[in-house]
């Protein structure tokens, strides 16, 4: 008898969870044909023909992307279809086309080489500035380049049939472009995982809309994997398990069952307020990177947008956006969210991240350099254009304006003076806007938190940006693996700065929110509740869970907890104390017939 080969041991890989869900099934390894970009010189007499081939390939690629756009619009909505607009803009951008044509004419390069060189210049720019949002656009840009080069080589781009299946599968790939995701067989693709990618990629956003589990950024794991291998994908934990054991499959099924029961319960809370048992109300809002996320935000019960990041329009082109471009985006956002408020954070970028007209050169430490409100005040023409667009949009819904990286009162007064000038111009031009629009500042620099009492007299609200506040206060770059462990939201200094800010706001009669990652952490949210926070803004997925927490505690318990931790000296002591208090509240709710989720 021939002995049977031993079953391979399971392997689990950790990535980034971008769309929730658990699925157990067989994989399909998606390995599309890689585009080979030939490099050769063309003769002088062949230059015109090469330029003609390029324009024909551009037209074909544009037609394909327009068809994909229509498909997504029909199956999802217009907001998600707009994912393809940046790719179409590249194909239509005269600067891109003219640069490729110039390389053909001057260097006598073949069209594929010329066009892909321009595409890679875009990718290099996006990669060099170290911004996660920009880095996540690289897949989109390379997809355009590959598509054009395939037409130049007269190779049919990967057809939609490559991602159509007869049975249910989990798609695994090195990377997936938005066009790959849009062409997936929605009936049979039950999840996907990639080696590359990030949480802000268009592919991740599409996965949420399609409501299938997705994990990205897993790193190299595909080598040797074969289509048909049994796998567990966990879009809650951000893991995939290859060749799982029967025990791992049983555990995954049990986790899936618990999550489904829990999600059904959370769905019942969607239209209920985030209010404590003893009647204290907190507004729960969402942080939004792109307009296409808004349907997802509303589906999770957000009561507004507590942080709308306006940077994307400044990052995707080599020119500054005009007032009309900005206005149209802002108008659509406030109209869709109406009557819920939208807080527009003005440009929060350093000059090093602008691709074109506003390059300010590299700085030794851009984190402490000319960025955010400093950049806006140094370039008033850019700032005024954005302020006009936001004010005009305020006539169409509930808009608010928030200035980032404020360090002193003088900056607020300068910004407000510029805003007043813009408002006066609009009045003279008889252009309507909300005369009572609320103006706020982000508290994300220690000097702002320490002088919050002074700043509170200048504005209508605060929003505490804890991600940067923690980094600035503790002198920790959380992107640096050697010191990332020192990034500690429970540090006594952080909690004191937050409490000082909230107390100052309350004394001056203004409301205060928090839009950092602490908002989505149940233990942090419990402390923030006890400090008297008015609003918490977070990723949309976290909203139902934080609402559940708030609805099952009493404000008096949360306030008592804050006083208890104030005497503790280390982050470890504080975290452990809050955890034990949370578990005590669990037991208390269990006796009363309710139950907080275990941590």
- Residue range 110-124, pLDDT digits in tens: 999 999 999 988 888
Give the bridge partners for 22, in sequence order: 234
Any residues with CB less than 8 A from the CB of 80 and at least 6 apart, and which?
72, 73, 205, 206, 209, 292, 295
Mean pLDDT, rounded, for 295-318? 86
User: CA-CA distance, 332 to 69, in Å (whole number)?
Assistant: 19
Catalytic annotation, pick one of 28, 80, 151, 202? 202
Any residues with CB less than 8 A from the CB of 362 and at least 6 apart, and which?
352
8 Å CB contact between 442 and 516: no
**Residue 318 pLDDT > 70, yes or no?**
no
Give the bridge partners for 438, in sequence order: 400
What pLDDT sits at residue 211?
Answer: 84
Residue 413: burial class (beta carbons within 10 Å; 0-12, 13-18, 19+):
exposed
**Which residue did the predictor score with more confidence, 45 or 353?**
45
SS3 300: coil
User: CA-CA distance, 155 to 153, in Å (whole number)?
Assistant: 5
User: CA-CA distance, 484 to 549, in Å (whole number)?
Assistant: 28
- Residue 92 pLDDT class (50, 70, 90 cuts): confident
Give the bridge partners for 232, in sequence order: 24, 241
Which bin fits 311, alpha (ψ -120 to 50), beta or left (φ > 0)?
A: alpha
- 577 has catalytic annotation: no
pLDDT digits (tens, 9 = 90+) for 191-221: 999 998 887 777 888 888 788 999 999 999 9
Mean pLDDT, rounded, for 136-143? 81
As a whole number of Å, the CA-based R_g of the chain is 26
DSSP code for 187: T
- 515 has catalytic annotation: yes
pLDDT exceeding 90 applies to what percent of the chain? 63
**Which residue did the predictor score with more confidence, 253 or 136?**
253
**Residue 399 pLDDT > 90, yes or no?**
yes
- Residue 577 pLDDT class (50, 70, 90 cuts): very high
Mean pLDDT, rounded, for 433-442? 98
**Residue 361 pLDDT > 80, yes or no?**
no
What pLDDT sits at residue 276?
Answer: 96
pLDDT digits (tens, 9 = 90+) for 443-465: 999 999 999 999 999 999 999 99
What pLDDT sits at residue 312?
Answer: 79
Mean pLDDT, rounded, for 129-155? 78
* Residue limits of CATH 1.10.274.10 in the chain: 44-152
Which two three-digit tokens encode residue 44? Answer: 């002088």
- Residue-averaged pLDDT of the chain: 89
**Residue 438 pLDDT > 90, yes or no?**
yes
What pLDDT sits at residue 128?
Answer: 63
What pLDDT sits at residue 159?
Answer: 53
SS3 109: strand
What pLDDT sits at residue 352?
Answer: 47
Residue 368: burial class (beta carbons within 10 Å; 0-12, 13-18, 19+):
exposed
CATH (residue range 17-32+159-248): 3.50.30.10
Mean pLDDT, rounded, for 590-594? 64
Q: List the one residue out of 398, 341, 404, 395 whose CA is nearest residue 376.
A: 404
> How much of the chain is helix, strand and coil, in % rounded to 5?
50, 15, 35
How many C-beta atoms lie closer than 10 Å to residue 28's C-beta?
Answer: 23
* Residue limits of CATH 3.50.30.10 in the chain: 17-32+159-248
- Residue 39 pLDDT class (50, 70, 90 cuts): confident
The fold for domain 44-152 equals Enzyme I; Chain A, domain 2 (1.10.274)
pLDDT digits (tens, 9 = 90+) for 47-73: 999 999 999 999 999 999 999 899 888
What pLDDT sits at residue 360?
Answer: 56
| Confidence (pTM) | 0.78
**Residue keyed to tokens 């254009």:** 385
């Amino acid at each position: 008898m021939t002995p049977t080969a031993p079953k391979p041991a399971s392997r689990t890989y950790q990535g980034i969870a971008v769309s929730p869900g658990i699925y157990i099934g067989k994989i399909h390894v998606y390995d599309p044909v890689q585009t080979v970009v030939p490099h050769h010189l063309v003769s002088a007499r062949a230059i015109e023909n090469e330029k003609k081939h390029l324009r024909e390939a551009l037209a074909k690629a544009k037609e394909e992307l327009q068809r994909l756009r229509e498909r997504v619009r029909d199956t999802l909505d217009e907001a998600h279809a707009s994912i393809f607009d940046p790719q179409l803009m590249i194909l239509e951008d005269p600067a891109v086309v003219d640069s490729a044509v110039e390389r053909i004419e001057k260097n006598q390069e073949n069209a594929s080489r010329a066009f892909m060189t321009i595409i890679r210049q875009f990718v290099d720019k996006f990669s060099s500035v170290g911004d996660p949002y920009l880095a996540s656009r690289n897949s989109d840009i390379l997809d355009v380049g590959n598509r054009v080069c395939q037409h130049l080589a007269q190779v049919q781009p990967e057809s939609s049939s490559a991602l159509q299946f007869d049975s249910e599968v989990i798609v695994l790939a090195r990377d997936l472009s938005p066009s790959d995701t849009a062409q997936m067989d929605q009936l049979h693709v039950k999840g996907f995982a990639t080696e590359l990618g990030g949480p802000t990629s268009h592919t991740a956003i599409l996965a949420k809309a399609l409501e299938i589990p997705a994990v990205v950024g897993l790193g190299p794991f595909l080598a040797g994997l074969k289509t048909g291998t049994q796998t567990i994908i966990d879009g809650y934990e951000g893991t995939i398990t290859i060749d799982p054991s029967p025990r791992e499959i049983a555990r995954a099924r049990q986790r899936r069952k618990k999550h489904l029961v829990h999600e059904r319960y959370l769905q019942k809370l969607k239209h209920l307020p985030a209010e404590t048992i003893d009647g204290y109300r907190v507004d729960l809002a969402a942080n939004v990177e792109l307009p296409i996320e808004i349907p997802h935000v509303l589906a999770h019960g957000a009561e507004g947008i507590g942080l709308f990041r306006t940077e994307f329009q400044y990052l995707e082109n080599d020119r500054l956006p005009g007032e009309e471009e900005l206005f149209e985006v802002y108008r659509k956002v406030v109209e869709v969210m109406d009557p819920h408020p939208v807080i527009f954070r003005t440009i929060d970028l350093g000059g090093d991240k602008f691709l074109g007209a506003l390059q300010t050169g590299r700085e030794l430490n851009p984190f402490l350099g000319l960025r955010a409100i400093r950049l806006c005040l140094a370039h008033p023409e850019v700032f005024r254009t954005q302020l006009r667009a936001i004010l005009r949009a305020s006539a169409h819904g509930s808009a608010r304006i928030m200035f980032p990286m404020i360090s002193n009162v003088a900056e607020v007064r300068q910004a407000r003076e510029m805003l007043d000038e813009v408002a006066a111009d609009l009045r003279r031009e008889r252009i309507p806007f909300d005369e009572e629009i609320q103006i706020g500042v982000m508290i994300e620099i220690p000097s702002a938190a320490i002088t919050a009492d002074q700043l509170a007299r200048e504005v209508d609200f605060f929003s505490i940006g804890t991600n940067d506040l923690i980094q600035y206060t503790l002198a920790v770059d959380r992107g640096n693996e050697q010191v990332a462990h020192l990034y500690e939201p429970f540090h006594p200094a952080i909690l004191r700065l937050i409490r000082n800010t909230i107390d100052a706001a309350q004394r001056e009669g203004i409301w205060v929110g928090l839009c950092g990652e602490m908002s989505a952490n149940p233990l942090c949210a419990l402390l923030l509740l006890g400090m008297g926070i008015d609003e918490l803004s977070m990723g949309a997925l976290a909203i139902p869970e934080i609402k559940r927490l708030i609805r099952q505690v009493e404000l008096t318990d949360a306030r008592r907890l804050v006083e208890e931790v104030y005497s503790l000296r280390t982050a470890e002591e504080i975290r452990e104390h809050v955890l034990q208090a949370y578990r005590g509240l669990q037991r208390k709710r269990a006796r009363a017939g309710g139950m907080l989720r275990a941590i």
